Amino acid sequence: MIVDVLLFKITLLIYFVATICYLVGVITRKEQFNRSAKWILIGGFVLHCITLKVRWLTTGITPVASLHESLSFFAWSLIGIYLLFDLRYRTPMLGAFISPLALALMILGAAAPKKAPAVNPMLDSWWFPIHVTLAFLGYGVFAIAAMAGIMYLLQERMVKSKKFSGLFYRLPSLDTLDSMNYKCLTFGFPLMTMGIISGAIWANSAWGGYWRWDPKETWALITWFLYAALLHGRLSIGWRGRRAAIFAIIGFCCLLFTFFGVNLFLSGEHTFRSFTGE
């Protein structure tokens, strides 16, 4: 228990250093900062994997049962997917947007109570890890889509208004950012869909019903429809660029509400009671 919290804190610190490195790299436009930031991030990610494994072994269930664990898992999937993305797109600017987001999730996770939740027999199912892993990988991919969307809007604004700041030279081309949006959508949407389906199957085995209109389920469905609309718009109507970027950002906001808002404002089966330490 103490070991995994300590590991978590070290991971957070490493992510913090990586974030600073990315930001310094973007401001000073020095390549070496971006390079070291990436390696620091990789180091942090490896440690994060160990942290999650230790937590898993300690609590005995997939470490997504409490808010603290979920936030940590969210940050982990976000960084993991970013690192995969970086293999393809190699854009340190994206890192400068992703790492602060992951850091924010980690800080929130550090604020949440770290006590292991009482083992709920419902969670003791193979569907649980499948459901949460798919869902969080989807979250990570959509987070990247949203960040790429913000970058797109920034860059598009500069190209359109013909007023350029230093960021203009650092941000990737509009085409690259738009293709990230598309890539994220083609990966994120199936992940999310499978996440929801696996959740429904799991719910059926646990409660004997596929869908119970629990607030989280409802919001997940709303989010799913948003992304479905975007995917449809992209594939058949030719949505792209600004509209797709805005959609990706709205979709991610919706997703964050599904994740946080439902826990904080609404109640249902997905609510983490451990948020208040109970």
Partner 1 sequence: MHIVIVGLSHKTAPVEVRERLAFAPTAMERPLRQLLDLPPLAEGLIVSTCNRVELCAATKEPDSAVAAMRRFLADYHDIALEEIDPHLYDYQGEDAIRHLFRVAASLDSMVLGEPQILGQIKTAYGYAVEFKTAGLILNRFLHKAFSVAKRIRTETGIASNAVSVSFAAVELARKIFDKLDDKGVMIIGAGEMCELAAKHFISNGVTKTLVTNRTFERAEKLAAEFNGRAVPFEQFTDHLAEVDIVLTSTGAPNFILGHRQMEEIIRRRKHKPMFLIDIAVPRDIDPKVNDIDNAYLYDVDDLQEVVQANLKERKKEAGKAEAIVDQEIGQFYQWLANLDVKPTIIALRSHLEKIREQELERTFSNLKDLTDKQKKGIEAMASAMVNKILHKPIAMLKRTQDETSGEDYVDAVRSLFDLPAPSFEDKDIRTLDEPEQ
Nearer to partner 1, 4 or 178 (CB): 178
Least separation in angstroms between residue 23's CB and partner 1 is: 22
Assign 212 to helix, strand or coil. coil
Assign 60 to helix, strand or coil. coil
Residues near partner 1 (CB under 8 A): 155, 159-160, 162-164, 168-169, 172-176, 237-243
Nearer to partner 1, 155 or 258 (CB): 155
Nearer to partner 1, 87 or 237 (CB): 237
What does the alpha-carbon distance between residue 182 and residue 139 come to, in Å, rounded to a whole number?
Answer: 15
Least separation in angstroms between residue 250's CB and partner 1 is: 17
Nearer to partner 1, 179 or 271 (CB): 179
Least separation in angstroms between residue 143's CB and partner 1 is: 23
- The answer to whether residues 248 and 230 touch, using CB atoms and an 8 Å cutoff, is yes
Least separation in angstroms between residue 124's CB and partner 1 is: 49
What does the alpha-carbon distance between residue 269 and residue 117 come to, in Å, rounded to a whole number?
Answer: 15
What does the alpha-carbon distance between residue 183 and residue 220 come to, in Å, rounded to a whole number?
Answer: 21
What does the alpha-carbon distance between residue 255 and residue 223 come to, in Å, rounded to a whole number?
Answer: 6
What does the alpha-carbon distance between residue 85 and residue 144 come to, in Å, rounded to a whole number?
Answer: 9
Least separation in angstroms between residue 241's CB and partner 1 is: 5
Least separation in angstroms between residue 21's CB and partner 1 is: 25
Cβ-Cβ contacts under 8 Å for 69 (sequence gap 6 or more) = 55, 63, 109
- The answer to whether residues 117 and 274 touch, using CB atoms and an 8 Å cutoff, is yes
Nearer to partner 1, 118 or 237 (CB): 237
Nearer to partner 1, 115 or 240 (CB): 240
